[in-house]
Structure 1
């Protein structure tokens, strides 16, 4: 799970959420495209390599993205 004490991570997540919602609200990207972006991002982290600590961070990041997808926290119907 995201470390709630990481202000840079929280800021990045908030900015990305706002951008994706704005793109959807303005009919620039449909929900399926936004879901695709999130799935691609999760897959990138799921397949990332590195040290044990780096792989743990990537796994946690992928988990967070997948939670967003599963719970529908990011996309909404306009």
Structure 2
């Protein structure tokens, strides 16, 4: 089950990143709005009130989202 969950998470991340990039490429959302969406997503995970084992997963998700923001993956891609 964990492997399936990891695959689902990777797929969801790829789809969301592609959608955000498409929105930016087509000038439908400025970069600051996209960063705002990512910050909101990170905050949701940071503030999760689930059981301890789930909070660790939320913490990892928030860390990953914040790394995407810091890394500038949306504007600094090839």
- What TM-score do the two structures reach when normalised by structure 2? 0.87
Alpha-carbon distance in 2 for matches of 1:11, 1:44 = 20
The alpha-carbon deviation at position 26 of structure 1 amounts to 0.3
Alpha-carbon distance in 1 for matches of 2:7, 2:46 = 23
The alpha-carbon deviation at position 34 of structure 1 amounts to 0.1
Residue 33 of structure 1 corresponds to 33
Residue 65 of structure 2 corresponds to 65
The Cα offsets for residues 39-78 of structure 1, whole Å up to 9 and x where unpaired, read as 00000110011111011011010000001011112x116x
User: Aligned residue pairs: how many?
Assistant: 73
Residue 76 of structure 1 corresponds to 75
| RMSD over equivalenced CA pairs, Å | 1.6
Query: Which of 1 and 2 has higher RCO (CA within 8 Å, sep 6+)?
Result: 1
* Residue ranges of structure 2 left out of the alignment (5+ in a row): none
* Residue ranges of structure 1 left out of the alignment (5+ in a row): none
Pairs within 5 Å for 1:40-59:
40-59=40-59
Structure 1: 4+ residue segments shifted above 3 A: none
More helix by share: 2
